[in-house]
């Protein structure tokens, strides 16, 4: 079955097809208003979310479908001790497609292993957020007219920010895309990720520590919030919380056609004065996000019989464990431990992609 857990569960061609359908839906929503009549989207949100959950809800309503689910896990069976796998299995009896957000990494993958219907990852810890990536791609396409030959600056919390991780994985597949990583030392892109995705993939990645050093080269500036909820302590968060602020003076150094994106919510990282700049695309991005989610729901139901790359080549090994403490396999020992062998021989956890280690 076709799920969207990791951005690369969609081939580049499938991704382009979804973006193109999202654009067609944006241009003529009335033509799609009845296409999901009597279909149901189940939303399993174990972590606070306003825009993503409402964007999914609005998307399904816009297609004439219905939505059921929960926005607060304290009211769900999880409070009685139900596992994510069981909850997904149960709700998949009531809905045609599921969207799940969870603070633990790998929870949507586990849901995809038990669900009877396609599962969409709506954000898992610091790991992935593939529907935000589709939103980012449609926005770049609409604002700049292409997804290749772009210099993309990713600024802020590159360590804990799942949106940046998914965006880099997806954009690395377009020709001539270069990344400039703008972050303080403490919030750099994790070393393993950089090696796996950037270095092995031959993707140009330059690291800098200020916006001013990079902004004049950029076609896209992707701003992110420092992910307060993922820090081990308040002090560590306080030290970096206002590390970068994009303001009118910095925008004056940028290209005339640059697009500023932000997954939102914004805290202090973009001064309000930037909102009036025509290059500020972040509120338009919210609108495009609804249309690309409409396209995703439509295509996943159409492609139901296709398979999911992140579910390929899995094996169990009782002598192995995942090394990521934030992985669902470590936080909830009922979760089956499954592994995958990377092309270079490294063993990784199927849920969260972290390295596997021997239990001994
Ligand atoms: C992002 C998320 O949840 O990761 N928000 C979103 O989905 N729109 C970014 C964030 O919370 O900073």
Tens-digit pLDDT profile for residues 139-168:
999 999 999 999 999 999 999 999 999 999
Cα(269) to ligand 1 centroid in Å equals: 14
Backbone angles phi, psi at 352, to 5 degrees: -125, 0
Q: Which pLDDT score is estimated for 75?
A: 66
Pick the CATH number of 313-358 from 2.30.30, 3.10.20, 3.40.50, 3.40.720: 2.30.30
For tokens 């669902």, the residue is 328
Burial class (CB in 10 A: 0-12, 13-18, 19+), 234: exposed
Cα 235 versus chain centre, distance: 27
For tokens 């919390």, the residue is 157
Q: Is the peptide bond before 289 cis (omega within 30 degrees of 0)?
A: no
Q: Of 40-54, 101-115, 195-209, which has the strongest mean pLDDT?
A: 101-115
Which ligand 1 atom sits closest to the C-alpha of 227? 12
132 lines ligand 1 (CB under 6 A): yes
Q: Which pLDDT score is estimated for 196?
A: 86
According to DSSP, the β-strands at 320-322 and 356-358 are: antiparallel
CATH architecture of 131-285: 3-Layer(aba) Sandwich (3.40)
223 lines ligand 1 (CB under 6 A): no
Alpha carbon distances (Å) from 117 to 40, 88, 140: 11, 9, 30
Q: Which pLDDT score is estimated for 200?
A: 84
Q: Which pLDDT score is estimated for 137?
A: 98
pLDDT at 74 over 80: no
Which ligand 1 atom sits closest to the C-alpha of 162? 4
Which ligand 1 atom sits closest to the C-alpha of 52? 7
Q: Which of 264, 266, 289 to mutate to test the pocket of ligand 1 (most atoms within 8 A of CB)?
A: 264
End-to-end CA distance of the chain: 35
Q: What is the dihedral of CA 296, 169, 317, 117, to 10 degrees?
A: 0
199-206: average pLDDT: 89
* Model pLDDT for residues 246-276, shown as the tens digit of each residue: 999 999 999 999 999 999 999 999 999 999 9
- Look at residues 354, 349, 353, 355 and name the one whose alpha carbon lies nearest to residue 335: 349
* Model pLDDT for residues 29-57, shown as the tens digit of each residue: 999 999 999 999 999 999 988 889 999 99
Question: According to CATH, what is the number of the domain 7-128+287-309?
Answer: 3.40.50.1370
164 lines ligand 1 (CB under 6 A): no
Which ligand 1 atom sits closest to the C-alpha of 225? 12
266 lines ligand 1 (CB under 6 A): no
Domain spans, the chain: 7-128+287-309, 131-285, 313-358
Q: Residue-wise over 322-349: b if at least 16 C-beta within 10 A, else e?
A: bebebbbbbbeeebebbbbeeeeeebbb
Cα(102) to ligand 1 centroid in Å equals: 12
162 lines ligand 1 (CB under 6 A): yes
Q: Which of 55, 100, 123 to mutate to test the pocket of ligand 1 (most atoms within 8 A of CB)?
A: 123
Which ligand 1 atom sits closest to the C-alpha of 224? 12
CA distance 318 to 351: 15
130 lines ligand 1 (CB under 6 A): no
290 lines ligand 1 (CB under 6 A): no
Do 7-128+287-309 and 131-285 fold alike per CATH? yes
52 lines ligand 1 (CB under 6 A): yes
């Amino acid at each position: 079955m076709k799920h969207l857990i990791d951005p690369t569960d969609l081939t580049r061609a499938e991704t382009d097809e979804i973006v193109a359908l999202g654009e067609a839906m944006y241009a003529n929503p009335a033509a799609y208003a009845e296409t999901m009549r009597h279909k149901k989207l189940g939303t399993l949100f174990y972590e606070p979310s306003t825009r993503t959950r409402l964007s999914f809800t609005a998307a399904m309503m816009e297609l004439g479908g219905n939505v059921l689910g929960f926005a607060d896990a304290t009211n769900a069976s999880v409070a009685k001790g139900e596992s994510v796998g069981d909850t997904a299995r149960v709700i998949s009896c009531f809905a045609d497609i599921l969207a799940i957000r969870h603070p633990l990494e790998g929870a949507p993958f586990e849901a995809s292993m038990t669900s009877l219907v396609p599962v969409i990852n709506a954000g898992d810890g610091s790991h992935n957020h593939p529907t935000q990536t589709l939103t980012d791609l449609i926005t770049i396409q609409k604002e700049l007219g292409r997804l290749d030959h772009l210099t993309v600056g990713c600024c802020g919390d590159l360590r804990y920010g799942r949106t940046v991780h998914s965006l880099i994985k997806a954009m690395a597949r377009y020709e001539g895309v270069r990344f400039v990583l703008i972050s303080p030392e403490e919030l750099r892109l994790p070393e393993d990720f950089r090696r796996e995705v950037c270095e092995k993939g031959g993707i140009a990645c330059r690291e800098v520590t200020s916006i001013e050093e990079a902004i004049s080269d950029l076609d896209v500036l992707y701003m992110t919030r420092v992910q307060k909820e993922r820090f081990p302590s308040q002090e560590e968060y306080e030290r970096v919380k206002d590390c970068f602020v994009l303001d009118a003076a910095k925008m004056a150094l940028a290209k005339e056609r640059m697009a500023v994106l932000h997954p939102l919510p914004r805290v202090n990282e973009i001064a309000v004065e930037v909102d009036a700049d025509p290059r500020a695309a972040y509120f338009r991005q919210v609108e495009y996000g609804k249309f690309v989610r409409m396209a995703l729901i439509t295509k996943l139901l159409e492609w139901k019989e296709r398979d999911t790359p992140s579910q390929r080549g899995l094996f169990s090994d009782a002598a192995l464990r995942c090394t990521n403490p934030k992985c669902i396999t470590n936080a909830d020992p009922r979760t089956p431990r499954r592994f995958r062998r990377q092309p270079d021989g490294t063993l990784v956890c199927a849920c969260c992609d972290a390295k596997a280690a021997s239990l001994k």
